[in-house]
Amino acid sequence: MRRFFILTRALVLTTLREPAVLFWNLAFPVLLLVLYVLIFGEQARAGRAGFVQWIVPGVVTLNILSFGLIGSTSLTMQMREAGVLRRVRATPVSISTLFAVFVATNVLVCIAQTALVLAFAALAFGWRAELDRLVLSLPLMLLAITLSVALGQLVSSLSPRFALALAIAQVLFFLQLFTTGLVMPMDLLPAWLGEVGRWLPAYAIGDLVRWPLLEGSLGAEAARNLGLAFAYLLASGALAVRFFRWESRG
């Protein structure tokens, strides 16, 4: 455990000391929110206040998915391509410990992003933060973030190169974006595609994050989606560890 904490602190420190990356990571979800509210807020039927309540959970979900899949790969990939991991390999640390450290670091970053978006939404757009909703959301968001980051780590493990990891992550991100009801209603999809979408991890993530924030209650499919999320988490963790790469060549 002590090892885990020291290593996670080291990686969090490196992340905090990369101002450009940090700024972008934190600014991106806020920008997303601002754009949505400014562009669509005034025309919304429910009025701007209603629109804000509705869009904030969506922005949080999108960010969890895009940071986990795309953003969280970069720390691992950079350390691998720079040769840091090769040196680490000469030590007796286990891959599962390293995996846990990478996941924890990225989860912390994503929690910070989420907290910032929510705080910004409350202060700038009058988003109403209700305590019971937040309390209910917290463990589900944590699960969603961990799952999303674990998927990103799996992409890193499977990609020999940074560029490939980014490409794969983006494809997975956009495919899920349009097939799991995150940006367009699933009724618009062909039936078979909608059925596939319901089994993708982003579907579970969206459901688990949006309902509690939006309604203060679990969605009708919460149990199914919790199961799906845990299954994906275990599988992606196991595969990411199994196929972990220490070096980018050879």
Ligand X SMILES: Nc1ncnc2c1ncn2[C@@H]1O[C@H](COP(=O)(O)OP(=O)(O)OP(=O)(O)O)[C@@H](O)[C@H]1O
C-beta contacts of 21-24 below 8 A and 24+ residues apart: 21/74
Q: Report the C-alpha gap between 109 and 150 in whole angstroms.
A: 14
Task: Determine if 17 is a binding residue for another protein (CB under 8 A).
Answer: yes
- Of 101 and 202, nearer to another protein (C-beta) is 101
3-state helix, strand, coil in the chain (%, to 5): 80, 0, 20
CB of 83 to another protein, least distance (A): 4
Selection from another protein, ligand X, none that 43 binds (CB < 5 to 8 A by kind) is none
CB of 48 to another protein, least distance (A): 42
Token pair recorded at residue 57: 């959970």
Task: Determine if 250 is a binding residue for ligand X (CB under 6 A).
Answer: yes
Selection from another protein, ligand X, none that 167 binds (CB < 5 to 8 A by kind) is none
- Of 10 and 193, nearer to another protein (C-beta) is 10
Torsion angle of alpha carbons 125, 105, 228, 135, nearest 10°?
A: -40
Size, binding site for another protein by CB under 8 A: 23
**DSSP structural state of residue 44:** -
Q: Which of 184, 175, 178 is nearest to 155 (CA)?
A: 175
Count of CB atoms situated within 10 Å of the CB of 185: 8
Using the structure block, give the residue that is written with the tokens 């509690």: 212
CB of 103 to another protein, least distance (A): 17
CB of 250 to ligand X, least distance (A): 4
Selection from another protein, ligand X, none that 14 binds (CB < 5 to 8 A by kind) is another protein
Task: Determine if 242 is a binding residue for another protein (CB under 8 A).
Answer: no
Task: Determine if 13 is a binding residue for another protein (CB under 8 A).
Answer: yes
Token pair recorded at residue 24: 């972008």
Backbone angles phi and psi of 68, in degrees to 5? -60, -50
- Of 106 and 180, nearer to another protein (C-beta) is 106
Do 127 and 100 contact (CB within 8 A), yes or no?
no
Token pair recorded at residue 131: 């305590």
Selection from another protein, ligand X, none that 39 binds (CB < 5 to 8 A by kind) is none
Task: Determine if 190 is a binding residue for ligand X (CB under 6 A).
Answer: no
At 195, which amino acid appears?
E
The 62-101 contact track toward another protein, x by CB under 8 A, reads -----------------x--xxx-xxxxxxxx--------
The residue ranges that bind ligand X (CB under 6 A) are 249-250
The residue ranges that bind another protein (CB under 8 A) are 2-3, 6-7, 10, 13-14, 17-18, 79, 82-84, 86-93, 246, 250
